[in-house]
Chain A
Amino acid sequence: MTGLACRFGRHDHLIGVLSTPESHDDTALRPGVILLNAGLVHRIGPFRMTVELARLLAGRGYAAIRFDLSTIGDSGGTADAGSREDQVLADVQDAMAVLQQHAGCSHFVLMGLCSGAQNAHHVASIDPRVVGAVFMDGYAYRTRGFYLRHYLPRLLHPGRVARAAWRRLRRIGRRDDVDLPGFAVEWPSRQQVISELTGMAQQGRKLCFIFSGGALGYFNHPRQFGECFGSLAADPNVQVRTFPEADHTFILAGDRARLREAIADWMQQSF
């Protein structure tokens, strides 16, 4: 694996690190991987998960770039007109150009956690060079099944209800109840997401959905994918994996190792 730190982009405003396999023999034939920021964490990712993932993928023969989107981490802003979504699309296309220039890649797989998954979804729904995506704790919608699985066990165990109520009471006034700086992004409608995902799958894009225990507030069983997205669940281009023990940012090294292996295996099966 080799590493190249680069400054790039249409305004030379983006900072990233490209990891490439030692042998370039068939790297150009494989898709290049683009790893997106998770929230405001810079390009190394929460607990350095993006560094670990990029290096594993490079070791398996895939060129991978992890970089900071405009105004995040070390990347600068631009005076470009347009929405944040337009900016994200242009930034990712700049990263594609780097992968093309240095590794010869002409098609790409996007990977992202949380807001990174939302950005991956947006770009994958527009750019035809995207052949696959890994969405970690990305879009999903609560269903009747979700509510049943969430509330029924609690109703059947009054002790649990009492303990949950007690925990909630204890948390009142604690510092974690203080609003921290942050912005909530409104999710698109389920119908829009279904339509976009269906389009991606019909165009042959391979899609991997990963849900951690941190997503249990809106996704609590693999079956929910079908409840939520219908026939997409049976599409051979779609795979769903859950890591219910792990937290949202995979703080434990063992959880991260299992996540990395799952993604690398999916890459090898898919491309």
Chain B
Amino acid sequence: MSGELLKEIPGYFGPQGSLFGLMAEPAYPPSTAVLLCPPLGQDLIRSHRLYRQLAHMLVRRGLAVMRFDYYGSGDSFGDADQTTLARCVEDTLNAAGELRQRTRCRRLLAFGARLGGSIALQAHARQPFDALMLCDPILDGPAHRAQLEALHAEMLADTRRFVRPRTAAEGAGQWLGFPHGEQLEDELAVMLLSVPPAALLLDSADTFPRAGNIVALDEPLGWDDLDRLEVAIQSHELIARVQRHMETLQ
């Protein structure tokens, strides 16, 4: 299955046409659309294929789907160190508006993995989606920031990557390949989120107690595995779980 059956239309939208989006619609006018909120940093690159597969599955099921990149990430304008959570939430609301306007759908759902889940949650608090699907969302900002710092320090010292360990100064202001601004650091330092009971929560890291819509994935996705930093995240199970959840919503 690829572009022969499904045509995704790329384009720029949002403030000054600064946001990149990729829209896919089924043959018949859909009543439901899904906004896929990407993670940030290397998680975005690692999960690109997974998001694409998810989008194709949803379109095959008759839904309109939009993937997009936040300002300073992916194909969108801006530099990585200009990315802030506040701007990401605004961009998500912009993307939701764009998706509603283009498809005229009655229902709008959102999916987000990792920080994409956190951003979807914060956008949902401002303008609720009709349903929310999250995968390994980052709920504890300070813990995530500490984890990024630790992995980054470990990466700098990794002599399988570098001929000699790199200094903290050489890696300053970055997390695992991506420069970040002070505002993003500050936002993570105070970010503590909770998941609404109705949201589907896919948990690959055995982080959440099993209850309600919390579903364990059998295989860990390995987001924080430094040895797999440049290996794509793949999970047929995740796609199947989302598909099954969609059936309960329709």
Asked if B228 CB lies within 8 Å of chain A CBs, one says yes
Interface of B is mostly: loop
- State the interface size on chain B (CB cutoff 8 A): 44
Given known A-B contacts A5-B12, A71-B2, A247 and B45 have beta carbons under 8 A apart:
no
Asked if B85 CB lies within 8 Å of chain A CBs, one says no
Q: How far, in angstroms, from A180 to B46 measured CA to CA in the complex?
A: 14
Q: Which residue of A lies closest to B20 (CB)?
A: A5
Query: Which residues in chain B, 203-233, are within 8 Å of chain A measured between CB atoms?
Result: 225, 227-228, 230-232
Given known A-B contacts A47-B177, A253-B179, A245 and B232 have beta carbons under 8 A apart:
no
- Across the interface, do B48 and A73 meet the contact criterion of CB distance under 8 Å? yes
- Across the interface, do A74 and B174 meet the contact criterion of CB distance under 8 Å? no
Q: Which residue of A lies closest to B74 (CB)?
A: A44
Asked if A59 CB lies within 8 Å of chain B CBs, one says no
- Across the interface, do B22 and A15 meet the contact criterion of CB distance under 8 Å? yes
- State the interface size on chain A (CB cutoff 8 A): 45
Q: How far, in angstroms, from A43 to B74 measured CA to CA in the complex?
A: 9
| B228 proximity list for chain A (CB < 8 A) | 175, 180
- Across the interface, do B2 and A76 meet the contact criterion of CB distance under 8 Å? yes
Interface segment, one of B113-121, B125-133, B163-171, B240-248? B163-171
B interface residues with partner A (beta carbon < 8 Å): 2-4, 6-12, 20, 22, 42, 45, 48-49, 52, 73-75, 77, 80, 155, 159-164, 166, 170-171, 173-174, 176-179, 225, 227-228, 230-232
A interface residues with partner B (beta carbon < 8 Å): 3-7, 11-13, 15, 17, 40-44, 46-48, 51, 71, 73-79, 167, 174-176, 180-181, 213-214, 216, 244-247, 249, 251-254
24 chain-A/chain-B pairs, Cβ below 8 angstroms = A11-B3, A13-B3, A15-B10, A17-B10, A17-B20, A40-B49, A43-B75, A48-B80, A51-B74, A74-B10, A74-B52, A75-B3, A77-B2, A78-B4, A176-B160, A176-B227, A180-B228, A245-B162, A246-B162, A247-B161, A249-B230, A251-B177, A253-B178, A253-B179
